[in-house]
Amino acid sequence: MSSLPETINATSPVAANPPVTYLMRDGELVEYADANLHVLSTTLKYGVGVFEGFRAYWSEDDNELYAFRVADHMRRLVDSMRVVEIDGPQDIEMLSEQLLSLVRANNLRSNLHMRAQVFVDSSDGKPDDTGPATVFMAAIPMNNYFGASGLDVQISSWARLSDRSMPPRIKSIANYQNGRLALLESRRNGYDAALLLTEDGHVAEGAGYNVFMVRQGKLCTPPATESILEGITRDSVLHLARTELGLDVDLRPIDRTELYSADEIFVCGSAAEVNHVTSVDRTPIGNGTAGELTRRIQDLYQKAVLGRAAADQNWALPVYAG
């Protein structure tokens, strides 16, 4: 097997020089270039599909790769299939082992971003097709998703989609057009990232990441009923804040103007990890650096992904042990 690069930038093209040898289709290893889907499948024609994004972290001290909350991600993948009515596999343990075996087959020993994607691969697909389902998995070396620490954020003119129109709490491929438009708008306007409001004007989430705010000494985040993805990293942060720091986190609607007077703001997600916000609509947050509570949560999260915090939760799964 050819040698692999230690890292790859999140925005780097990979097709011309793929950093891995194999992807996986329905439990079988396939060459990178052969991981294809027909252009007339239901997924390509109508955007019917769900996915999960995972992270894994290499520890030089342990000479081990730790995959973070794999079973929880696969559980959400199964839930997503049920909500959008895709007849895909339901065995969480089997799906988890397939992902780990893919990593081992590529002999990956650096920080990774991994994906499990479920497509409706029907021939000349119709919008109401629920199968057959094809599951592709990938594992690609990746370090910092944003490429920088600290984000200048814009409140998007695009509203976050509502549960009355699309199911925002799951990772549906179609949902990501909503965040994509917000992100493109923010980049055109010179920002790093975007936050979206609900139709009622409350803060929902970013373009692929949840948001937390520290205001008047209180850690707050929108509840699941504010059109957010029920983020696994968000859940990790909530657990760490409550159990490791003893904080009573306030799950409540957040108004846009509260962000402007916040002491600290950070976003979090599997790819995004925990990253502080330096400004919102050019209004500085704090002194422009990560606040004290944000830094403590960042530190705890980096320990948790290696099994050194919240170890009793068994979140960090050693890939090569045994």
Which residues are known catalytic residues? Answer: 171
**Single-letter code of the amino acid located at 53:** G
Contacts of 256 (CB under 8 A, 6+ apart): 155, 197, 201, 202, 203
Q: How far is CA 24 from the centre of its chain?
A: 20
Q: How far is CA 29 from the centre of its chain?
A: 24
Q: Which residues pair with 211 in a beta bridge?
A: 267
Q: Which residues pair with 212 in a beta bridge?
A: 266
* Pairing between β-strand 273-280 and β-strand 218-221 as defined by DSSP bridges: unpaired
Helix, coil or strand: residue 95: helix
CB-facing half-sphere around the CA of 228: CA atoms within 13 A:
29
DSSP string, 142-165: ---SSSSSSEEEEEEEEEPPPTTT
The answer to whether 220 touches 187, Cβ cutoff 8 Å, is no
Closest CA to 112 of 42, 181, 20, 221: 20
Helical residues (DSSP H) of the chain, grouped into ranges: 42-46, 70-84, 92-106, 176-188, 232-243, 256-260, 292-304
Residue showing tokens 């989609």: 161
